[in-house]
Chain A
Amino acid sequence: EIVMTQSPATLSVSPGERATLSCRASQSLGSNLAWYQQKPGQAPRLLIYGASTRATGIPARFSGSGSGTDFTLTISSLQSEDFALYSCQQYNNWPLTFGGGTKVEIK
């Protein structure tokens, strides 16, 4: 099973600032990585797949990068609606696995 590790666990950021979230895989994924956003009491929402492709309707301030074992989600200028939990997911191998998440909170 591929283990996904996200850091930091919590990120405190002021509105308008840039947020950089990391996700590391225990083995190479190529570009088979996705990112999800989840707000309290809500279902996750697909943000990014293929490491860098934005899903339909996702604003351009969200960008993904990386390949192999190290990946990054960047939110260029945090809006109030962006404070949430972010999780990465690998789909290079079964079982599909998720990271533990990074909570982005208001500083």
Chain B
Amino acid sequence: EVQLMESGGGLVQPGGSLRLSCAGSGFTVSNNYMTWVRQAPGKGLEWVSVIYSETSSYYADSVKGRFNISRDKSKNTLYLQMDSLRAEDTAVYYCARLRSAELVFDYWGQGTLVTVSP
């Protein structure tokens, strides 16, 4: 059974950093397109970042230059390093597998809450 489990969320001050983790089971994280999607309180879903391979990753304009996506093959885990955090980054962050053929999110984690506040 495919499962994703995020961790690492919490309260951080503006300008601070946080690293989110997403442990996968039932499939190989490094062989799949993996993404982060966030949802601000009361708002819709927003795609944040995708990693295709160790040399191919892309970001939403709202986080470009501040966030970095990566993965560890040995741990079957996806990461999101978030620097220079802003209040508008406050959201539940989900990791999700992106089906490569149709670019739809077929498996999701339960999410981890990131709150950016003084």
A positions within 8 Å CB-CB of B = 32, 34, 36, 42-46, 49-50, 55, 87, 89, 91, 94-101
Contacts and interface: CB of A to CB of B under 8 A. Distances in A.
B45 A44 contact: yes
Contact of B106 (A50, A55, A96): A55
Interface stretch (B11-19, B66-74, B76-84, B108-116): B108-116
Contacts, number: 51
Residues of B in contact with A, size category: 20 to 34
Main secondary structure of the interface of A (DSSP, over half): loop
A54 to B, nearest CB: 12
A61 B109 CA distance: 26
In order of increasing CB-CB distance, the 4 nearest A-B pairs are A91-B103, A43-B108, A98-B45, A100-B44
Contact of A89 (B43, B58, B104): B104
A92 B94 CA distance: 22
26 contacts: A32-B102, A32-B103, A34-B102, A34-B105, A43-B108, A43-B111, A44-B45, A44-B94, A44-B105, A45-B108, A49-B99, A50-B102, A55-B106, A89-B104, A91-B103, A94-B58, A95-B60, A96-B103, A97-B47, A98-B44, A98-B45, A98-B46, A98-B47, A99-B44, A100-B43, A101-B45
